[in-house]
Amino acid sequence: MSAPVEARTTAWPAAARLLARWLDRRERVDELLESLGGSLTGTERARCQHLVFGAIRHFGRIDAAIGRLVSHSPRFATRAVLLVAGFELIEARAERGGAPTRASEAGTTNAPDQPTPVVDGRVAKIVHHAVEQTKQLASPAEARMVNAVVRKLAGVLAEPPPPKLAPADVLAEYFSHPVWLVRSWLAQFGAAATRALLEWNQQPAPVYARWRSSFAEPAEDKLSVAAPTEGNPVPVEAAKAAPKAEEPVPAWFKPTAWAGFFEIPPGHWTEIEPLLQRGRIYLQDPATRIPVELLAPAAGELVLDGCAAPGGKSLLIADSMRQGRLVAMDLPGARIGRLKENLARVPAGVEVALVQGDLRQDPAGLLREHKLPAQFPAVLLDVPCSNTGVMRHRVDVKWRLQEGDFRKHPLQQLALLRAAARLVAPGGRLVYSTCSIDTEENEHVVQEFLAGARPGEWKLENHQISRPWEAGHDGGAAFLLRKNTAPS
């Protein structure tokens, strides 16, 4: 639900400034938001994020509309203002159930120097606010241009969705996706599924929390040792307190079809924050459960998470076992901090070791060097990928992806899969997973791995493909591979 325009005096210009940076440098959205620091209150920050996410989610459609209304591309600061205003116009129309305003009824038949008349009160406020912000962020001359363009945008952005069988370029513009990606999906999934996927990606992502029935509250000093030197494993000591007595799930948590996962309604951050800090909940999409369920870690088992950061699936593995031993491995880097924080929250009965190193560069030697097992009965490999299954959450992914990524990623993924396979004990199991919906990163990688393995060494026992428009949560894929005890 949109906040009143008058309340946006801080969030709105902050969003426009971040979008100007994004237009200029294509910085990652999460890094842009982190740069806000403590400059906004919680409510203002949430509003700023909402505007930034919305403008980038609908960037292709809004920017194309702007391009039809101006003779030359505005400066980044002014273009950012138009993007925020354009998103507000889309949002306002959606909240009205798509009912036309008098501005949208006027369409775009006016001459370029004759602004479309705006009578709808909400649209008038959006126009006025964009003009006033442009005076502060750009110049009075540009504010006059913004006044004319935003009035016309109301009509252009009110155009109805394209027909079901519209060509790729029309779908790409309206649903704000790169045209090459839409063509790829049409070839893979067909017209109906691609349309459903595009519509899915354009909706804001719900917030899901996993309720942890077995957890230990982390101590302030979550780790027993200092940050590691490169390659050294870090034994992670959880608080090791006795498991907390079961407490009821808050009544305002919305149950889902997936056991243990709840949807969090807006406006509850003050109640969510202490639950997060205590480790009672973990924010993650229900799709993350799929590879862990396929792996089925058992109590007392030894498990390797080969691409562990930031640790959401590692924590889910530990919660599933309750007792056992978990080795979490990933490359040194910024995400290791998050991984350490998450591993410090494992149940008291799970022993954890964190290894920083490249899975593709003699991982068995690295494990032996630090007195860790060289092979495991259970290995999870959740590889880096294109993220095409999680575009609701990562709104800038589609604008960062390039066609060449679908040639580069599978090569890296296959190398990781082959490296992880060498760490699986005879009779053990390996789950290969991605948060991609594209066959190049899923079926094709697994097929090539099996084709290159020794005859009879590996068997594909099970797999699950999650298509978000069908599953109702993020997309991805997981493949359960079994290593035979005596390959032929």
Please list the active-site residues.
435
Does 382 count as an annotated binding residue? yes
> Do residues 148 and 71 lie in contact, with contact meaning Cβ atoms separated by under 8 Å?
no
Q: Is the peptide bond before 310 cis (omega within 30 degrees of 0)?
A: yes
At residue 171, the 3 state secondary structure works out as helix
Does 113 count as an annotated binding residue? no
Does 475 count as an annotated binding residue? no
Closest by CA to 66, choosing from 86, 84, 48, is 86
Q: Report the 10 Å Cβ neighbour count for 76.
A: 18
Length of the chain, in residues: 488
Does 30 count as an annotated binding residue? no
Q: What span, in angstroms and rounded, lies between the C-alpha atoms of 99 and 158?
A: 9
Pairing of strands 323-330, 376-382: unpaired
Cβ within 8 Å of residue 256, ≥6 positions away: 208, 262, 263, 286
DSSP 8-state symbol, 332: S
First-residue to last-residue Cα distance in the chain: 62
At residue 462, the 3 state secondary structure works out as strand
Question: What residues does 304 pair with on adjacent strands?
Answer: 327, 379
Does 428 count as an annotated binding residue? no
The per-residue b/e assignment along 123-138, b for 16 or more CB within 10 angstroms, e otherwise, is bbbbbebbbbbbeebb
Does 308 count as an annotated binding residue? yes
Q: What span, in angstroms and rounded, lies between the C-alpha atoms of 156 and 177?
A: 18
For residues 39, 44, 48, 51, the Cα torsion angle rounded to the nearest 10 degrees is: -170
Does 330 count as an annotated binding residue? yes
Does 307 count as an annotated binding residue? yes
Does 125 count as an annotated binding residue? no
Q: Report the 10 Å Cβ neighbour count for 334.
A: 9
Which residue ranges make up the annotated binding site for S-adenosyl-L-methionine?
307-313, 330, 358, 382
Which residue ranges make up the annotated binding site?
307-313, 330, 358, 382
